[in-house]
Amino acid sequence: MIKRMAIGWATAFVVVSILCAVSMAQTPGGGQAEPEKAVDRLPGLDKRLIDTTADPCTNFFQYACGNFTKLYPIPNDRSAYGTGAMIADYTEHILHTMLERAAAGGASRTPNEQKIGDSYAACMDVDTINQKGLKPLQAELDRIAALKSKDELPELLARFQLIGVNALLNFGEQQDFKDARKQIAAVDQGGLGLPERDYYFRAEEAAEKTRTQYVQHIANMLKLMGETESKVASDARAIMQLETVLAKASMDITSRRDPNKVYHLMPVSELATLAPSVAWDRFLTASGAPPVSELNVANPDFFKGLNSLLASTDLETIKIYLRWQLITSTPGYVLPKALDDENFDFYRRKLRGQPEQRARWKRCVQATDAGLGEALGQVYVSQEFSPANKQATLQMVQDIEVAMDQDINTLDWMSSATKVRAKEKLRAVADKIGYPDHWRDYSTLIIARDDAFGNALHATDFENRRQLAKIGKPVDRGEWLITPATVDAYYNPSANDINFPAGILQPPLYDSRASDTSNYGHVGGIVGHELTHGFDDEGRQFDANGNLANWWTPEDGKHFEEKADCEVKEYSNFVAVDDVKVNGKLTLGENTADNGGLRLAYIAFLADAKRKNIDRTQKQDGYTPLQQFFLGHGQSWCGSTRPQQLRLQVQTDPHSPREFRVNGVVQNMPEFGQAFGCKTGQPMMAANACRVW
């Protein structure tokens, strides 16, 4: 339940290989896997991607990336495809090789190699998974069937939370927003099967179609679980009705961006007053959490609604809903093929427009990274992330922090008192590069070579118990929230740290062979993005110690909101797909980070160029260093997205679509227009540019 702000390499990652090296992987229980091609990597500046027929002053995204989709069309097993996808696919190829080697066995395997190898092998054993059918789920189904009254729900709900089934609610831990030294328990809204609460209420035709498809999907899954034809339709409608009640009590995704709206620390006794239908003392005991006297109730109104729902809903309907939550929360790759295919059909094909399921080995690589990320990551970084790369990245991070320090001095809308506090926070930011200093201990996690379902359940239970065990203990500032191989980065406001795993520090985003100019445009913008998150509309509400505290003067806070409102209005005018526009309020934090981040990278690049006596007017490969900087930024976001995925993204994702992460930023930087000779009033040279940082 930790809140984080990430760069957001949204949706799936993929690449088309042009190299000729091929290996043939063995699929346990399923014959041979498809031949695997080695994966290509883009250079820091790829002139093949540039559409020279486009005018950079009219549409810079088209200019920088116009040929990308011609060279790399979206594959059938993807809903989107771009630069980040290519990096992730390269990493996936590396991890695949490692896992095949670990899965081959041998007495020389370390304990971690045994776990990742056997976990991968079990996932690949599709014959055994299909032969077992729903038998692995039977113990959990029996728990539901054994319920004799609603009074017995707390223990079952706690059990489900541990195995990743967030029926009716979410329970976990977080840093205390008001005292970041503390780890506390937290309970929140949950229990929905559609992506976000407004999917249950939007009136347009597309939303109504999705709801119809969802009810049919529930019915299909229930039928595959063995329900009779006469029951599945009515049960599916009952589940939809119950979830709609939960959705009505839930907070919308935009409101949840305000940390004050999701922080309500209260004694457990007060939660019991809000929702007396749940015996919270029994729930907490059954969860295995340390003793809890108070917790954050993120959305108190939700628990009032939950209480009413439990009081007015009969036990049989609740049991039907629990069966549904169990099956829809179970990873598809551990289910028999018919259920896996049906799950894919709704959540990937219908919601995202993805025509085909991913290859089995790719899904199993992802599953192993998700369940044993630091065990796999330890092997990965030893091979793929050099100390030199770590040092070079750290130097760039420090340079960009210096740039922000200097930039704060130039802000005419901020008082000297608030500038002092801003710099205090900036100096306190912790920089975490590559991988953790201390690796996670998986010695108590049981992994079996012939039990894909059990492995998934045990890994989820292991992680949830690890998280809950932190309650009441001092915060571990060295912990990472994503795995070393992840192609992403994030800022954590409660920890006041920026985190760049090894997975994202690869070409073209960071390329040791590329020019500093290109690297500043690529990864420099990402570093600046995460740093700026500490000062966006959410991050600015946390102080240098990670506490939710107002360190702004009232007038400076008002000035910030006025400048942020310019971005809200600007991005709200961008049309993403059909008649659906970007939600400027939902995406404000990410848009602020995109804009501020590239500006910081630009300032740092200018300082670097001055130190190295780089002639900023001298062309190389046909472009000046300043033009190469902006092309690096643009080509970080090359790619395309299916219409269904775009619609889903705009309605649920705080990140703007890729085109606007390029054009929305450069049109706010007069320096871009100067670099490409644009005239004021052209689309990429706005007369009234927005700027927060």
- Has residue 12 got a pLDDT over 50? no
Q: Which amino acid is at 66?
A: G
- φ, ψ of residue 539 to 5 degrees: the values are -60, -35
For the record, the structure tokens of 509 come out as: 């985003």
Give helix 452-468 / helix 360-371 axis angle, nearest 10°. 30
Rounded to an integer, what distance in angstroms lies between the CA atom of residue 301 and that of residue 249? 6
According to the model, what pLDDT value does residue 590 have?
Answer: 98
Token duo for residue 550: 């107002």
Token pair, residue 434, equals: 């590559």
* pLDDT-based confidence at residue 221 (cuts at 50, 70, 90): very high
Note the CATH number of domain 1-86+391-443+487-693.
3.40.390.10
What token pair was written down for 215?
A: 């009810």
pLDDT at 397 over 60: yes
**pLDDT for 37:** 64
Distance, in Å, from the CA atom of 640 to the CA atom of 70, rounded to the nearest integer, reads 10
Tokens matching residue 446: 């049981």
Quick check: 26 pLDDT over 60? no
pLDDT in tens, 174-205: 999 999 999 999 999 999 999 999 999 999 99
Q: Is the predicted pLDDT of residue 85 greater than 60, yes or no? A: yes
Q: What is the average pLDDT across 368-393?
A: 94
pLDDT per position as a tens digit, 518-547 = 999 999 999 999 999 999 999 999 999 999
Beta carbons of 693 and 535 less than 8 angstroms apart:
yes
Q: How far apart are CA 227 and CA 561, in angstroms?
A: 54
Give long-range contacts, CB 8 A cutoff, 24+ apart: 558-562. Answer: 559/413, 559/414, 560/413, 560/692, 561/537
- Is residue 559's pLDDT more than 50? yes
Opening angle at CA 347, ends 368 and 318, nearest 5: 95
- Which of 312, 316, 336 is CA-nearest to residue 136? 336
If one counts every other C-beta atom within 10 angstroms of the C-beta of residue 435, the result is 22
Q: Name, in order, each residue with C-beta under 8 angstroms of 276's C-beta and a sequence gap of 6 or more.
A: 307
The band of 35, judged by pLDDT with boundaries at 50, 70 and 90, is very low
pLDDT digits (tens, 9 = 90+) for 412-468: 999 999 999 999 999 999 999 999 999 999 999 999 999 999 999 999 999 999 999
Q: What is the mean pLDDT of the chain?
A: 93
pLDDT computed for residue 13 by the predictor: 23
Fold for the domain defined by 147-327? Neutral endopeptidase; domain 2 (1.10.1380)
| Residue 38 confidence (pLDDT) | 62
Give the mean model confidence (pLDDT) for residues 399-421: 97
Helices (H), 330-386: 337-344, 351-352, 360-371, 373-384
pLDDT for residue 256 is more than 80: yes
- For 26, half-sphere exposure in the C-beta direction (CA atoms, 13 angstrom radius) is 10
How confident is the model over 123-144, as a mean pLDDT?
98
Is the per-residue pLDDT at 381 higher than 50?
Answer: yes
Q: What is the pLDDT of residue 531?
A: 98
Question: Cβ distance 567 to 584 under 8 Å?
Answer: yes
Whether 4 shows a pLDDT value over 50: the answer reads: yes
pLDDT at 235 over 60: yes
pLDDT, residue 621, reads 86
Per-residue pLDDT at 30: 42
d(CA 607, CA 395): 13
pLDDT tens for residues 493-513?
999 999 999 999 999 999 888
Contact call for residues 498 and 477 (beta carbons, < 8 A): no
Return phi, psi of residue 496, to 5°.
Answer: 50, 55
The answer to whether 276 and 307 are in contact (CB under 8 A) is yes
In the chain, the amino acid numbered 566 is C
Structure tokens at 92: 């996936």
pLDDT of res. 267: 98
CA dihedral in degrees (264, 266, 271, 274; nearest 10)?
Answer: -60
Domain boundaries, the chain: 1-86+391-443+487-693, 147-327
What's the pLDDT score for residue 513? 85
Residue 337, pLDDT > 60, answer yes
Q: Give the mean model confidence (pLDDT) for residues 684-693.
A: 94
